[in-house]
Homo-oligomer: A and B are copies of this chain.
Amino acid sequence: GRPPESTDFANYFCTYAYIYHQKDMLEDHKRTGAYYQAVLSNKRQFQGKVVLDVGTGSGILALFAAKAGAKKVYAVEATNMAKNARLLVEHNKMSHVVEVIQGTIESIELPEKVDIIISEWMGYFLLRESMLDSVLVARDRFLAPGGALYPSHASIFMAPIRSNLAAQRTSEFQNSMEGWAEFLHEMQHYYQVSLDVLSDGYRSEQKDYYLHTSQWTDTHPQQLLGPAAPIIKYDLNKLTLDELKAPLKSEFVMHMTDGGPVDALCGFFDVLFKGSDENPTDNEIRLSTAPDPTGATHWGQQTFPLHPPIDCAPGDRLRVSVEVTRRADNQRLLHVKAAVSVEGNSIYAEQSKTPREFRWNIE
């Protein structure tokens, strides 16, 4: 197979070539443990099957599949990590089952169709990295009819939270603009050059950075002001590549258990291992990245700060129209827009005539 295109390598694949980074994922035991359970508690589904691991990294999921009794596992990895995967497979005495193939899944060939595709493709807020594209390509190219995807389903959620992030960011932004004013003064004083004309550009750069960028957080369930609402639920057996590449538009309602101010929205995801209709799992496993008092997975949650916070009362509802698009400058990064209005019997709902608009980059 071919290596990734060079820009994409610089932007995306480079880190995956380090054992250090693979270790970060492997030692996220909620993650690795969920895949382990999904495979090893469903041995019947893997027994004698042909499996494809899309983006095998260290080779771990391919090894799980082999342990579960797969007849053959194709383990495809774009980066040089493939060499380590091969070492690991040999060392764990599975070379007769697992075949490591280096190249992008888009460019490699397989000698046969497969019964199961397993892959750990999820990014922040599920969709960052856009690696699900490659899994759908793999499905369309290599999955036999009736074959199963592991995971088979994925959902994105949002919840209203209390968080000091928005206030913190606002004050950092203000500090930064004060620094700019000083800087202008210095430049004038030292070099008789006026940089005023760049102030708008600087402000908008800094706003993008401080106010319009979501952040990795380990959110505590206590911060939730109401239950999380699903934005979208994907059935990966049915989802098409075109649907996935199109802007994701969704309207949903969040019920406020507590009153506001709502400082931020908290976004996270889960995936489900249900197998396929023809070959369902015996044990349905869920990997959730929801706020958890025992600590977050390596994905954490994405916190989207609200400037200024949204006022509302217990019992109110937040109606959210959300749009998630890929960034024009790098399709592996995301842009999120949301329009939020307050509904209910409170004074806040009454005052919320037009929805408020927000936007964020997921870096």
Contact = CB atoms under 8 A, between A and B. Distances in A.
Given A27-B183, A205-B19, A36 B191 contact: yes
B58 A198 contact: yes
A351 to B, nearest CB: 37
A116 to B, nearest CB: 18
A73 to B, nearest CB: 14
Interface residues of A, number: 44
A10 interface: yes
Given A7-B7, A26-B183, A190-B33, A91 B58 contact: no
Interface in A5-39: 6-7, 9-11, 18-20, 23, 26-27, 29, 32-33, 36
Given A84-B198, A206-B20, A193 B60 contact: yes
Number of copies: 2
Contacts of A191: 32, 36, 60, 64
A197 B91 contact: yes
A234 interface: no
Given A23-B202, A191-B64, A88 B197 contact: yes
Contacts of A88: 193, 195, 197-198
Contacts of A180: 23
B197 A20 contact: no
Given A84-B198, A87-B197, A198-B88, A192 B67 contact: yes
A250 interface: no
